[in-house]
Structure 1
């Protein structure tokens, strides 16, 4: 019943838009701060998370710490680019309401990654609000560019595929 309410209620669409704009602004600010500074380096954060995977009550689970040690740290230069630009683009997507579901999914993925790395900050709050947007689906982007873009993409896909197997569902 609550999910139906999130997906269908026109007044909830306004609330989801406000949440979308708020989260978009948070992501945009975070990403732009890192981009404009020009000195973003994720290695300190990654090394700190790796250190927090030991002890009696580790803040970072060993499986995640091993991922950070074996994948993220060796490719930190790549992460130094994709983290700030990912944050910025998620924010831009949410503010404009374009590729909203994908944008919020990527934002939630980053929130989970930060929390798995042992940080809390605003991540739980952003996760909760982001889940409402994700579950709200179409209702979350009715007041954004997706309102016009998604029907065009569906038409384009149907034209390319040559069938009506793809359709926009509520």
Structure 2
């Protein structure tokens, strides 16, 4: 029989070192509820946004946004957005990828399945919206940037393991071994 002892000094603590700099933190016991709230909030927002674009009476079109939105206010990616907006195959790709991407990202977050993958693509979309909606009137930080950070936090905290399907998927056994142990690369997708 194996027993384990919980050390109150290390419970709910996290440490990370990047390029020689180490940060340490201790999470409050309610942190899991707030991480779950962030996951569900972003899931609902994205699922709703994607769904309304898909069922709208007029088909979703990204062409005008890509062509005109980034041309003002000294956007550093204005040329890239102009290219995307004037390239027919890319506009057609965006017309499908944006609404369906939002819907699937949102659904993944709502049910807690493949949360890190969903959060990565959500953060990528928010980064593109950040540059597409470029406006320095209020500084570098705006809602798009904040939502990008929320997606990254959801991924970093493994929010799919909190009342989500990822907790069950990771424990699914293949030949008597948990899926996440058999295929460690899935840790970048699940969680």
TM-score (norm 2): 0.68
Larger Rg: 2
| Counterpart in the other structure of 1:148 | 168
CA contact (8 A) 1:96 1:144 kept: yes
**For the residues of structure 2 that align with 1:125 and 1:31, how far apart are their CA atoms?**
19
Higher relative contact order, chain-length normalized (CA < 8 Å, sep 6+): 1
Farther off after superposition, 26-35 or 111-120: 111-120
Q: Which runs of 5+ in 1 are unaligned?
A: none
Residue 49 of structure 1, CA deviation: 2.7
- Deviation sequence 1:63-114 (CA, Å, 0-9, x none): x333223345312011100110001100000000000011111100000000
| Counterpart in the other structure of 2:33 | 14
**For the residues of structure 2 that align with 1:70 and 1:48, how far apart are their CA atoms?**
11
* Aligned: 1:70 with 2:89: no
Runs of 4+ in 1 over 4 A off after TM superposition: 1-6, 167-170
Q: Which runs of 5+ in 2 are unaligned?
A: 1-12, 16-23, 136-141
* Aligned: 1:166 with 2:181: no
**For the residues of structure 2 that align with 1:32 and 1:119, how far apart are their CA atoms?**
25
Q: 1:126 aligns with which of 144, 147, 166?
A: 147
Higher helix residue share: 1
Distance 1:109 1:51, change over 3 A: same
Q: How does 1:1-170 map to 2 (within 5 A)?
A: 11-37=30-56, 38-52=58-72, 58=74, 60-61=75-76, 64-74=77-87, 75-119=90-134, 122-137=143-158, 139-152=159-172, 155=174, 166=184
Residue 17 of structure 1, CA deviation: 0.8
CA contact (8 A) 2:48 2:103 kept: yes
TM-score (norm 1): 0.76
> Across the two proteins, how many residue pairs are aligned to each other?
157
